[in-house]
Chain A
Amino acid sequence: MDTDSELDALEHALARAGQHHALPPLDPRRLHWRRLRVELGPIVWLLFALALAGAAALDSRWWLAGGIALALVPNAVASLFTRHREVGALTDGTDFATYERQYFAGQANHQRSAVAIEAALAIGLGLVALQTGGGERWLVPGLFAVLAAGRAILVLPYVERANRDAGGTRPQGWVLHLLMLLLFLLLPVLLTVGCLRRAWLWIRARTGGRR
């Protein structure tokens, strides 16, 4: 490139290209990927439920496959349709932006608490497996550990970034999530287990240790 005029000619060609480009009409809802990612959650959940049921069926554990399908699939299908209907009913860009912001703010909190719960279950069930021994017992805590790690590595960063991009509120801190987990999940479970154990000991004492 020797002269300014040659560069000017190229700029003119690019400007003409920009001038003749057919601009899409303004419709923020036509940002397909944005809609898609809002609608993606229930699809992933449905696929996960189907995969779980499929894995159980492949192993000929029909009762387990049926149980998983009955417990998870109807709700997953319902949420798929609900989300699709909700997003489809948004009439303008402002509504969509508000919906997106609320959705990702909720997801950021939900995913954090899910990671905390799954990690706690993995640790708790891992301790139980450690005490009772047996190779197969490690499968369940292992599954929860994989779920927690997968969610923390793959899902959580994506959701938190989407939340920041959408201008949503910051999720609650990890300390608060752990405190909530302790207060509303672990403590009630431990109290229930303690009560059951006392009841069992009491029954055993009354029956003279015959059971």
Chain B
Amino acid sequence: MIDLATEMRLLAALRGPDRGVRDAAVAELHGRTARPLYQLCLRVACDTMDADDAVQETFVDLLRGIHSFRGESRLTTWLFRIAIRAATRLRNRSAKWHREGLDAADLPGDDDPVAHAADRENAARLLAAIAALPAAQRAVVGLAAIEGIAHAEIADVLGIPVGTVGSRLHEARDRLRALLAVRREPS
């Protein structure tokens, strides 16, 4: 997604006094991380609109806190932490209004309408099941959905041991299976 040298370069640019350089760095960082951040926020907030807002808020918070970032972790690790906080905040707010879901427009255009409908239904079913998970498990599921992320990095983001990541992910998958099975059974 983004290597260490690029992170250091972007961090220096973000902290620099030149507005043009800073804006370019923000744009580059957004281009490289917005998609994985969205995948994470979608699973934590469980709503496409909230996930969009959470990604935007992540960058606002990044700009706000960039000077207080101590560099004790990687920039992306810090970004993921901010995203989880923002998505959780939005999720808690939306939960009051029982709003969650997937936008039909998010699914790829498919020539086969039956396959398209099935894909849409599958994604919506999983998202509804994820919404029933506890916040800690949603965060692990969201981070695990990011392509190329290692368990060690997930552990770093969440501040938990690497072994706990595996067990938490395993528990989450067990619970998702159970939730999906219950929802599939006719009432």
Q: Does B112 contact A (CB under 8 A)?
A: no
Q: Which residues of A contact B26 (CB under 8 A)?
A: 26, 93
Q: Please tell me which one of the listed residues B38, B43, B57, B102 contacts residue A31 in the complex, with CB atoms under 8 A apart.
A: B57
The size class of the interface chain A forms with chain B is: 20 to 34
Nearest A residue (CB) for B52: A24
CA distance A24 to B26 in the complex (A): 15
CA distance A26 to B38 in the complex (A): 13
Q: Given contacts A21-B103, A31-B56, could you give 14 more A-B pairs where the C-beta distance is less than 8 Å?
A: A1-B177, A1-B184, A10-B123, A10-B180, A16-B108, A17-B42, A17-B106, A17-B119, A20-B106, A22-B105, A23-B35, A24-B52, A31-B60, A92-B19
Chain B: minimal CB distance from A30 (Å): 7
Once the chains bind, are A97 and B35 in contact (CB under 8 Å)? no
Per-residue A-contact encoding for B120-142, CB less than 8 Å = 1, 0 else = 10110111000000000000000
Q: Does A18 contact B (CB under 8 A)?
A: yes
CA distance A102 to B184 in the complex (A): 51
How many A-B contacts if CB must be within 8 Å? 106
CA distance A143 to B137 in the complex (A): 50
Q: Which residues of A contact B105 (CB under 8 A)?
A: 22
In chain A, positions 1-56 with a C-beta closer than 8 Å to chain B are 1-2, 4, 7, 9-11, 13-24, 26-28, 30-31, 34
Once the chains bind, are B34 and A26 in contact (CB under 8 Å)? yes
Q: Looking at B63, B125, B173, which has the most chain A CB atoms within 10 Å of its CB?
A: B63
Q: Which residues of A contact B127 (CB under 8 A)?
A: 14
Once the chains bind, are B126 and A28 in contact (CB under 8 Å)? no
